[in-house]
Chain A
Amino acid sequence: MRNILEIRDLQVHYGGIEAVKGISLDVPEGEIVTLIGANGAGKSSTLRAIAGLVKPSAGSISFQGEDITGKDSNIIVSRGITLVPEGRRIFPDMTVLENLKIGAYLRKDDLTEDLNWVYDLFPRLKERSWQAGGTLSGGEQQMLAVGRALMSRPKVIMMDEPSLGLAPIIVKGIFDIIKEINKQGVTVLLIEQNANMALKTANLGYVMETGRITLTGTGQELLTNEAVKAAYLGT
């Protein structure tokens, strides 16, 4: 399978701190890829660099064979890569519908079809479409953040800790949705501290430690890897 996203020797610095120390990873088209690791391992920085929020200090990012290293976020989004940020970051004063519409900010075509798609995935959002985003529960806000990202019609959706702070039953729902979105043709790059769920869901996994990738394998391989078990699965 072709790689939709290829990262080579990526480095990201914040001031004098090197958060990502030259990583390479591939995201095959149509798969679910997960990046697991402890807090501060550089996972978020990697996604932020792909999304154009921070400029990498070295290395390259290519999307569908085209170099997108250091491009502005609006260009990245228009190419078809979207990021669901950590902590959901929905717009609390806007209605659910406005939050979804702003996800399609760069599009000029008709949104009806995509709104229906998102409402089918998350019927709860349809019921609450006139409610302010800030009045939703944590799980609903996560659905809204994912729905908002889907409104840009992405080819790749990146998610930064979508299960953070949610009850286990809701987390299961979120992972079901991730699989469903993937089944409909969207490639997923997922960051998780909930390594167990992430590896069970993903086709391909990378383990990141202090800015470097230390292990690669299919989800199953990593789930049974002794080092991963000891460090991330607690078994």
Chain B
Amino acid sequence: MEQLLSAEYIVSILLSGISLGGQLALIAIGYTMVYGILRLINFAHGDVFMVAGLLGIYISAALPMYIAIPVVIALTIGLGFFIERAAYKPLREAPRMSVMISAIGVSYLLQNTATYITGGQPMTYPAIDALTRTVSIAGASTKLVVIITPILVVVLIVLLTTLINHTKIGMAMRAVSKDFETSRLMGIKINNVISMTFVIGSGLAVVGSILYFTTYPAITPTAGAMPGLKSFVAAVFGGIGSIPGAVIGAFLIGICETIIKGLPSSWNVSVFSDAFTFALLIVILTCKPTGLFGEKATDKV
């Protein structure tokens, strides 16, 4: 009990909760933006995140870290772009369920390819010196990644909201998410805007993967499933389609989970930390199906 109440312990729990929340937020934005535009739950998104982790391992083995990171970011963005063009774009006029099944297919394809390449063995994410260095905050010592994550998340979100609210492409994204046909009448190329959404989503996911796997360095072919699912719950919690909603949901899930994991081991409740996330999902879906900031009528005509 004494250990539980010490200021350092509380600070360290909160810090790692905020950090986990930030990492989930970066993934959750990808889910929510794609849903906002295509009304598609992109099941492959968590696996893109996993692939970004594996790319980090393989490429940093061959290249120095300061080159490897930009290469990994570029390749992951390329992967997100390619998945949309190859697996979703041909189904633009098809029923929404077909696109969703295509997304599930891509998800398994990525997992199986990862199994084929890694042999299914857990791989260890490289230590990035600038992130793994230890610092001490209010008496609690922690890795630098825990401090950097929330700062980076805030910066990226400010950039993203500026892009969406104050640039021409952002205006096009808002238009397309409301009304495909009228957007076309304005001269907007729908496919370019959709590609842009996937580029942003994968770009944030790869940053998330660097931060996340620095904290939890074991990568298996299914390593994207759980963080992906939790981010998806975060997006649903915030109201899918809403970026601020997804971010708030992600921080809430990250902090609550870390608190549950940090409760005294004699209580034996830490095993329920994942269950908490999904219990939250059930509660939201029953009480407020549209989430915190969700639109009332999301169905498109």
Binding site for B on A (CB under 8 A): 51-53, 72-74, 77-78, 82-83, 85, 89, 91-94, 98, 101-103, 105-106, 148, 152
User: Would you call B185 and A91 a contact (CB within 8 A)?
Assistant: no
Q: Is the CB of A78 within 8 A of B187?
A: yes
CA distance A91 to B170 in the complex (A): 14
Q: List 15 A-B contacts (CB under 8 A).
A: A52-B184, A74-B184, A77-B185, A83-B185, A89-B179, A91-B179, A93-B174, A94-B174, A94-B175, A101-B171, A102-B171, A102-B188, A103-B186, A105-B187, A152-B186
A92 to chain B, nearest CB (A): 7
* Alpha-carbon separation in the docked complex, A42 to B144 (Å): 65
Residue of A nearest to B165 (CB): A98
Main secondary structure of the interface of B (DSSP, over half): helix
Specify which chain B residues have a CB less than 8 angstroms from the CB of A102 in the assembled complex. 171-172, 175, 186, 188
Complexed CA–CA distance, A82 and B186 (Å):
8
Residue among B168, B174, B178, B186 having the largest count of chain A Cβ atoms under 10 Å:
B186
| Given A74-B189, A89-B179, A91-B179: A53 in contact with B184 (beta carbons within 8 A) | yes
**Distance (Å) between the CB of A12 and the closest chain B CB?**
15
Does any Cβ of A come within 8 Å of B161's Cβ? no
Cα separation A78 to B184 with both chains bound (whole Å): 12
Asked if B168 and A105 make an inter-chain contact with CB atoms under 8 angstroms apart, the answer reads yes
Interface flag for B121 (CB, 8 Å)? no
- In the assembled complex, the CB of A55 is this many whole angstroms from the nearest CB of chain B, namely 12
Interchain CB contact under 8 A, A77 and B186:
yes
The residue on B at minimum CB distance from A148 is B186
Q: In the complex, which of the residues B171, B174, B187 contacts A73, with contact meaning CB atoms closer than 8 Å?
A: B187
Which of chain A's residues has its CB closest to B181's CB?
A53
Question: Which A residues are CB-close (under 8 A) to B178?
Answer: 91-93
Residues in A whose Cβ lies below 8 Å from that of B184: 52-53, 73-74
B168 proximity list for chain A (CB < 8 A): 105
Q: Verify if B182 is at the interface (C-beta below 8 Å from A).
A: yes
- Chain A residues with CB below 8 A from B185, complex form: 51, 53, 73, 77, 82-83, 85
B300 → chain A closest CB, angstroms: 13
B174 touches A105 (CB 8 A): no
CB-CB contacts below 8 Å: B182-241 with A: 182, 184-189
A92 to B172, alpha carbons, bound, how many Å?
Answer: 14
Q: Considering the chains assembled together, what is the distance between the CA atoms of A193 and B46 in angstroms?
A: 51
Other-chain contact of A105, B179, B181, B186 (Cβ < 8 Å): B186
Instruction: Write the chain B residue with the least CB distance to A145.
Output: B182
B187 A152 Cβ-Cβ under 8 A: yes
B244 to chain A, nearest CB (A): 14
